[in-house]
Amino acid sequence: LQFTEEKLGQAEKTELDAHFENLLARADCTKNWTEKILRQTEVLLQPNPSARVEEFLYEKLDRKVPSRVTNGELLAQYMAEAANDFGPGTPYGKTLIKVGEAQRLLGAAERDFIHSASITFLTPLRNFLEGDWRTITKERRILQNRRLDLDACKARLKKAKAAEAKATVTP
C-alpha cells in the first residue's frame, strides 16, 4: 500500500542519504559495465555463437567443456597433411611443414590465451555478478522493504496525531 501510494504521489517517501544513493548508482553502473565487458570478452574469445551456447550449457551442468581444436591448429593439421601429399622433400612440402608448425604453435598459444583469460579475467567477473551482485540486490530489497515499513508507520503516526488533534479541538 505504501509503495503504491508513493508511486501515485499520495504518500511521503523517506529519501536515502545522498552518498548512499551515489553508491547505489555506482553499483548499478558497475554491474551493467561488467555484464557488457563479460559478454564482449566471451565473443572475442569464442566468436562462434553455437560454441558459446554449448560451453554455457556444459558450465551450467557442471561438466568439463571438451577441448576444441583452434583454427590455427586445424590449419596446421591441413598443412601437414598437404605436405605429406606433396612430399616432404619438395620445396612446397618443406614450406608447408614449416608454416604448419608455426600455425600449430600459434594455435596452441591461442588455446593457452583463451584458457588463461577465462580463468584470470572472466571468472572474477562472473563471481561478482553471481555472488556479490546477488548479495547487493538482496540487501537492497531488504532496505527498500524496511524503508516502506518506516514510511507506513510514519503515515499512521501522522494520521493518529491528526485524529487526536481533531478530537481535542472538537468538544
Nearest Cα to 127, choosing from 43, 38, 41? 38
Task: Give me the pLDDT at residue 80, please.
Answer: 95
pTM exceeding 0.75: no
| Domain limits, the chain | 1-168
Nearest Cα to 67, choosing from 117, 101, 114? 114
pLDDT tens digit sequence for 102-142: 999 999 999 999 989 989 999 999 999 999 999 999 999 99
pLDDT tens digit sequence for 50-77: 888 888 788 778 888 777 888 899 999 9
Cα torsion 154, 160, 164, 165: sign = positive
Fold for 1-168, please state it. Substrate Binding Domain Of Dnak; Chain:A; Domain 2 (1.20.1270)
Over 70: is that where the pLDDT of 1 sits? no
DSSP, collapsed to helix, strand or coil, labels residue 69 as: coil
Portion of the chain with pLDDT greater than 90, in percent: 56
Side-chain half-sphere of 65: how many Cα atoms within 13 Å?
Answer: 16
Task: Give me the pLDDT at residue 170, please.
Answer: 66
Over 80: is that where the pLDDT of 45 sits? yes
Task: Give me the pLDDT at residue 68, please.
Answer: 81
pLDDT tens digit sequence for 139-163: 999 998 998 888 888 888 888 888 8
